[in-house]
Amino acid sequence: MLKPKFAYESEVTMTEMVLPNDTNTLNNLMGGRLLHWMDICAAISAQKHSNRIVVTASVDNVSFSEPIKLGNIVTMKAKVTRAFNSSMEVYIEVWAEDIPAGRRMSTNRAFYTFVAVDQNGRPIEVPELKAETDEEKDLYASALRRRQLRLVLAGRMNPQDATELKALFEME
Amino acid sequence: MLKPKFAYESEVTMTEMVLPNDTNTLNNLMGGRLLHWMDICAAISAQKHSNRIVVTASVDNVSFSEPIKLGNIVTMKAKVTRAFNSSMEVYIEVWAEDIPAGRRMSTNRAFYTFVAVDQNGRPIEVPELKAETDEEKDLYASALRRRQLRLVLAGRMNPQDATELKALFEME
Amino acid sequence: MLKPKFAYESEVTMTEMVLPNDTNTLNNLMGGRLLHWMDICAAISAQKHSNRIVVTASVDNVSFSEPIKLGNIVTMKAKVTRAFNSSMEVYIEVWAEDIPAGRRMSTNRAFYTFVAVDQNGRPIEVPELKAETDEEKDLYASALRRRQLRLVLAGRMNPQDATELKALFEME
Amino acid sequence: MLKPKFAYESEVTMTEMVLPNDTNTLNNLMGGRLLHWMDICAAISAQKHSNRIVVTASVDNVSFSEPIKLGNIVTMKAKVTRAFNSSMEVYIEVWAEDIPAGRRMSTNRAFYTFVAVDQNGRPIEVPELKAETDEEKDLYASALRRRQLRLVLAGRMNPQDATELKALFEME
Amino acid sequence: MLKPKFAYESEVTMTEMVLPNDTNTLNNLMGGRLLHWMDICAAISAQKHSNRIVVTASVDNVSFSEPIKLGNIVTMKAKVTRAFNSSMEVYIEVWAEDIPAGRRMSTNRAFYTFVAVDQNGRPIEVPELKAETDEEKDLYASALRRRQLRLVLAGRMNPQDATELKALFEME
Amino acid sequence: MLKPKFAYESEVTMTEMVLPNDTNTLNNLMGGRLLHWMDICAAISAQKHSNRIVVTASVDNVSFSEPIKLGNIVTMKAKVTRAFNSSMEVYIEVWAEDIPAGRRMSTNRAFYTFVAVDQNGRPIEVPELKAETDEEKDLYASALRRRQLRLVLAGRMNPQDATELKALFEME
């Protein structure tokens, strides 16, 4: 039985400068490039929680509402929200900053899940997560619902059995 | 009013060889790198449907079940499933192939959405999509449900109003 | 004796978007970058025919007549034309497309040759190629002449002995 | 009328270290990657001769006889051999070196041609080349034959009219 | 007269995963790659202090004592130490972590200087820096000595005039 | 006892074209990218002197006085100045050239040091260097002073003991 770890122990901050090859013909950061950075940042967070090699298991719906421009600074903060046996859910938030213009905006948030594996790539147990702050506790609690949604979307759970998720759609 | 276009007109095939820098310490393709390739492939498909510059609006849940190895050939096929005013949903399937070993497997499928924009980055109308085959018709029909799920997850629709989506969770 | 394979079994389609780092100061795709992409696309085709690791043996004369612009979509289609013991000739065609402008043009065609090798890098036999369509039959027939030209240019065949090639330059 | 320039004024030396992403699964440099480097080195040489922006017009047959390994040092030397109005032929030689092993070998040689262009991409006249050494004079003389071969291969010259080239295939 | 800013306002954390192309044949991070990352991280810090575009003016002596391995996580923390008219000195510390092995070590520290420039690349005034903590005050005080060393090394100050620096080498 | 080698035996010339991803928002080459190229060029020089794998030990103060623009050609020349047991100091000079404009300028010079290592990464003896030209002899002689400065800056030598260095700051 592994000793549980605190959420803050898995915190990672990653910073990237948007370079020409990261942009489309409107000089905006391409969505896929950001998904790539987010995956690396979230993976390091899951590594920190598990002290293991980790592989990406899934990324939840990510939406891109604001264009991020060439030369902007992208800051990502990732933290594990909950562990389930060998898998971990990581919450990641993204900000973009045009420093000379003094503008900073929240642009994305997403949940990635990772599986910890041994040197042969076989899943291996990870420590439980201890949530401390209110935000951590909320993320911990809602992780179950997101997990059900993932299983339903992957065809591995019957929507009828997704009790946490179903509650969202039901009337009084 | 733009002339509707067939789904097959937006078909795109993209092929990539997994190189060392695309892999983690287990020599497996990193999830984020694949998300990046899928975004480019799907964006080209949306460009073909709209004949416009397009920007990524969202990616739906993607899961990664099978490791893709260094040296493998990754093939992606993308096709628009449905258009909504200025936005388009693109369905993308991914296969990985170890050619010397004669192994080919389906590894991922995902839905990306894009918005067509003019030179100033403002949304602009796109043609409707005409589904022909059974698969295209299924994808066209289910696009509404996926759209509701995206809106609910983005906090822009009340779950109670997501009629298509709700039906999934209700018992008779 | 390996079972012959059809030309269509080696077909590969590869798609690339021209990004800033692929271009020169006129915002045109650099020739060497295209040669690099074509090599990867043609190599995958040769892999498919041989189910082996392959190494580039040569590229024939390639000319670049039309500029390909930043943001264009480059599509390559490759197919094996003929096999000779352990080597294969691959024909590759390239198109560039400015999708928002609705312009698509044929830009290049080339022949690459590859040698199939085992894990120690030693040449190994590949299946013969069966040409079916008229174009495939033409490419199969003319492969001998191109092979002689390659040998002459590499100083490994006397021009006088290049009977197929000589015929081109002789008057009746 | 532009003042002619000497061949040595266009000499360029370029050195690259073979990194993991440049190699195939046998840890050998991929042919396309080398063609890319050679194109950049040769283009700089043509720039030096013409003091103009240049675009690649063609690359002649290149063969790859020796594997170049991960960690090897690749040295390229390029020099203009002859100018024709707005185009220049560049000769480039490639060596690979395994320095710790004390092994250095000549691996490739090729001819690239470039067209000098103005800021709008239109061809513009370049200086004539003055060959001094014996090697430079040989390359200068044989440039005509190679030019005819390029034109024949591009379908822009009838083989019967390629007098320089034809001589190679004729007896007595 | 610009309003002075606190050192903490310019803090930047950057995280990178060491990928194959970042490493030499011993699978260790190449020094130059790290210098590149450090430059980007330090430049963002100088941008934050000045709210301007910045260009690198110099990097002081950097030594590399510990090998950083493939797959390691590199964390950099940068902070402005002092401003002089249009230039800023940035202190940057680097740690490398082998997370599965639970090893983390301090590997490098360096001082970069940047000049803030306007859109035409001309130097422009930046705010003064207010040091608060003891470490910030030490770095602020010693910045003068490092500045003299830079000027002496660049041949722009006579060693005899570098009073702060000279004191180091004098006996009582 | 290894046979001494001449300085010229370690000469390396490296040429790079400044591409979009190498530049900042003013279209100038980023300092860190140049430091990365210089490290590779200098490392190859140290490899040539020692016929060993080498690892970067330090880079001395580098200043960046002139902006290098997008599309410029950067030429680096490196040469070993002196060897100390298993370490070597390499002197590297950098020029930038805007060829169409006919402008060439000296932009940087720096000293890198490398340690030769065996396959297990352990330091190993290298040949002594024989300086021939006046410039080589000057660099050889002053190498001792630079070495003392490095040791003082790294906290591994007391400034009072740096006799060569101290002389610089002392009055008659």
Q: For residues F129 and E159, which has the higher predicted lDDT (pLDDT)?
A: F129
CB of B71 within 8 Å of a chain D CB? The answer is yes
CB of A70 within 8 Å of a chain F CB? The answer is yes
Residue in A closest to B172 by C-alpha: A160
Rounded Cα distance between D141 and D69, Å, is 35
The ipTM (two decimal places) reads 0.93
Percent of chain E past pLDDT 90, that is, above it, reads 83
Window 116-145 of C, Cβ < 8 Å to D: 117, 119, 121
Chains F and B touch (3+ CB pairs under 8 A): no
Query: Contact at 8 Å (CB) between E73 and A10?
Result: no
Rounded Cα distance between F160 and E55, Å, is 36
Helical pair F31-50 and E31-50, crossing angle rounded to 10 deg? 160
Q: How far is CA D18 from CA D117, E3, E19, in A?
A: 32, 50, 15
Chains F and A touch (3+ CB pairs under 8 A): yes
What mean pLDDT is reported for chain F?
94
Nearest Cα of chain E lies from the Cα of A159 at a distance, in angstroms, of 37
Q: Is E121 left (phi over 0), alpha (psi -120 to 50) or beta?
A: left
F105 band by pLDDT with thresholds 50, 70 and 90: very high
Residue in E closest to D19 by C-alpha: E21
Interface test with F, best of C19, C22, C25 (most F CBs within 10 A): C25
> Could you report the per-residue pLDDT of A131-160, keeping only the tens digit for each?
999 999 999 999 999 999 999 888 888 888
CB-CB under 8 Å, E166 with F169: yes
Pairing status of strand F103-117 against strand E87-98: unpaired
Q: Which residues of chain D have pLDDT under 70?
A: 170-172
Count CB neighbours of E119 within 10 A: 11
Q: CA nearest A93: which of A34, A48, A8?
A: A34
Structure letter (DSSP) for residue F110: E
Nearest Cα of chain E lies from the Cα of F62 at a distance, in angstroms, of 5
Percent of chain B past pLDDT 70, that is, above it, reads 98
CB-CB under 8 Å, A38 with B153: no
Count CB neighbours of E163 within 10 A: 11
| Residue B131: both structure tokens together | 């589904």
Query: Contact at 8 Å (CB) between B106 and B95?
Result: yes
CB-CB under 8 Å, F23 with A20: yes
Window 2-31 of F, Cβ < 8 Å to C: 19-21
**Main-chain dihedrals φ then ψ at residue E86, nearest 5 degrees:** -105, 0
Residue tagged 């951590």 (tokens)? A136
Nearest Cα of chain B lies from the Cα of E26 at a distance, in angstroms, of 15
Chains C and D touch (3+ CB pairs under 8 A): yes
Strand segments (E) across E12-154: 12-17, 53-59, 62-63, 73-84, 87-98, 103-117, 129-130
Would you give the distance in Å from CA A103 to the centre of its chain? 24
Q: How far is CA B33 from CA A56, B30, C13, in A?
A: 11, 5, 20
Q: Which residues of E touch A17 (CB under 8 A)?
A: 40, 43-44
pLDDT at residue C172 greater than cutoff 60: no
Rounded Cα distance between F44 and F79, Å, is 9
Q: For residues B159 and F134, which has the higher predicted lDDT (pLDDT)?
A: F134
**SS3 for A81?**
strand
Would you give the distance in Å from CA C160 to the centre of its chain? 26
End-to-end CA distance of chain F: 41
Count CB neighbours of C79 within 10 A: 22
- CA angle in degrees (0–180, nearest 5) for C85-C82-D153: 120
Rounded Cα distance between F102 and E85, Å, is 34
Q: Which residues of chain A have pLDDT under 50?
A: 172
Nearest Cα of chain C lies from the Cα of A29 at a distance, in angstroms, of 12
B167 band by pLDDT with thresholds 50, 70 and 90: confident
Would you give the distance in Å from CA B62 to the centre of its chain? 10
Q: Which residues of D touch C117 (CB under 8 A)?
A: 26
> Could you report the per-residue pLDDT of E16-34, keeping only the tens digit for each?
999 999 999 899 999 999 9
pLDDT at residue B148 greater than cutoff 80: yes
CB-CB under 8 Å, B51 with C100: yes
Sequence spans of domains, chain F? 5-132
Helical pair C31-50 and D31-50, crossing angle rounded to 10 deg? 160
Rounded Cα distance between D129 and D106, Å, is 26
Residue in E closest to D20 by C-alpha: E21
Percent of chain F past pLDDT 90, that is, above it, reads 83
> Could you report the per-residue pLDDT of C112-143, keeping only the tens digit for each?
999 999 989 999 999 999 999 999 999 999 99
Which DSSP helix (H) or strand (E) runs through D95?
A: strand D87-98
CB-CB under 8 Å, F37 with E35: no
Residue in B closest to D20 by C-alpha: B20
Predicted pLDDT at E170: 67
Chains B and E touch (3+ CB pairs under 8 A): yes
Rounded Cα distance between C151 and A76, Å, is 56
B172 band by pLDDT with thresholds 50, 70 and 90: very low
Pairing status of strand A53-59 against strand A103-117: antiparallel
Nearest Cα of chain E lies from the Cα of B36 at a distance, in angstroms, of 17
Query: Contact at 8 Å (CB) between E157 and E147?
Result: no
> Could you report the per-residue pLDDT of F8-62, keeping only the tens digit for each?
999 999 999 999 999 998 999 999 999 999 999 999 999 999 999 999 999 999 9
> Could you report the per-residue pLDDT of E60-105, keeping only the tens digit for each?
999 998 899 999 999 999 999 999 999 999 999 999 999 999 999 9
Which DSSP helix (H) or strand (E) runs through C49?
A: helix C31-50
The CATH class that applies to domain A5-132 reads: alpha beta
**SS3 for A139?**
helix
Question: Of A64, A67, A168, which has the smallest distance from its Cβ to B58's Cβ?
Answer: A64
Residue in C closest to D39 by C-alpha: C32
Predicted pLDDT at F170: 67
Instruction: List beta partners, residue F59.
Output: E62, F112
Q: Which residues of B touch A168 (CB under 8 A)?
A: 152, 159
CB of F166 within 8 Å of a chain E CB? The answer is yes
Question: Of E150, E159, E169, which has the smallest distance from its Cβ to F61's Cβ?
Answer: E150
> Could you report the per-residue pLDDT of C3-57, keeping only the tens digit for each?
999 999 999 999 999 999 999 989 999 999 999 999 999 999 999 999 999 999 9
Which DSSP helix (H) or strand (E) runs through F107?
A: strand F103-117
